[in-house]
Structure 1
Amino acid sequence: MLTVGWILLVICAVAVLGSVMLLGQRDSRRARLQRRFGPEYDRVLAERTDRRSAERQLRQIAERRDALTINPLTQADRATYTVRWETLQTRFVDDPAEATSLADALVGEVMRARGYPAGSFAERAELLSADHPRVVAGYREAHQRTTAKPDGKSAPGRRDTESLRSAFVRYREVFNQLVGSNSGSGDKAVPTGDRQDPKERPAAGLAATPAKREA
Structure 2
Amino acid sequence: MLTVGWILLVICAVAVLASVMLLGQRDSRRAGLQRRFGPEYDRVLAEHADRRSAERQLRQIADRRDALTINPLTQTDRATYTARWETLQTRFVDDPAEATSLADALVGEVMRARGYPAGSFTERAELLSADHPRVVAGYREAHKQTTAKPDGKGAAGRRDTESLRAAFVRYREVFNQLVGVTAGAGSHAGSTGDRTNRQDRQDRPAAGLAATPGQQEA
TM-score in same-fold range (> 0.5): yes
* Unmatched runs of 5 consecutive residues or more in structure 2: 181-205
Match of 1:21 in 2: 21
> Could you tell which deviates more after superposition, 84-93 or 156-165?
156-165
3-state DSSP class of the match of 2:85?
Answer: helix
Q: Which residue of 1 aligns with 2:188?
A: none
Is 1:190 matched up with 2:206? no
Report what 2:202 is aligned to. Answer: none
Question: 1:157 deviation in Å?
Answer: 4.5
What letter is aligned with 1:149?
K
Whole-angstrom distance in 2 between the partners of 1:182 and 1:140: 24
CA drift of 1:190 comes to: 1.1
Contact 1:88 1:103 in 2 (8 A): yes
State the AA in 2 paired with 1:117: P
**Amino acid across the alignment from 1:118:** A
Post-superposition offset of 1:152: 7.6
CA RMSD of aligned residues (A): 1.9
- CA distance 1:37–1:183, change in 2 (3 Å): farther
Matched with 1:206 is none
Q: Distance in 2 between matches of 1:152 and 1:48?
A: 36
TM-score normalised per structure 2? 0.84
Does the CA contact (< 8 Å) of 2:151 and 2:159 recur in 1? no
Match of 1:30 in 2: 30
Name the structure, 1 or 2, with higher relative contact order (CA <8 Å, separation 6+).
2
Q: Which has the larger radius of gyration?
A: 1
User: How many pairs are equivalent?
Assistant: 191
Q: What does 1:1-215 correspond to in 2, within 5 Å?
A: 1-151=1-151, 156-180=156-180, 181-184=206-209, 189-192=211-214
State the AA in 1 paired with 2:96: P
Query: Where does residue 196 of structure 2 map in the other structure?
Result: none
TM score, norm. by length of structure 1: 0.85
CA contact (8 A) 1:40 1:133 kept: yes
What SS does the aligned partner of 1:64 have? helix
Within 2, Cα distance between the matches of 1:101 and 1:122?
A: 17
Mean CA deviation greater in 16-25 or 45-54: 45-54
Query: In 2, are the aligned partners of 1:176 and 1:183 still within 8 Å (CA)?
Result: no
Q: Give the 4+ runs in structure 1 shifted more than 6 A.
A: none
Q: Tell me which amino acid in the other structure corresponds to 1:109.
A: E
Post-superposition CA distance 1:155-180 (Å, at most 9, x none): 73401100000000000000000000
Contact 2:30 2:55 (C-alpha < 8 Å) held by counterparts: yes
Whether the 8 Å CA contact 2:82–2:209 is kept in 1: the answer is: no
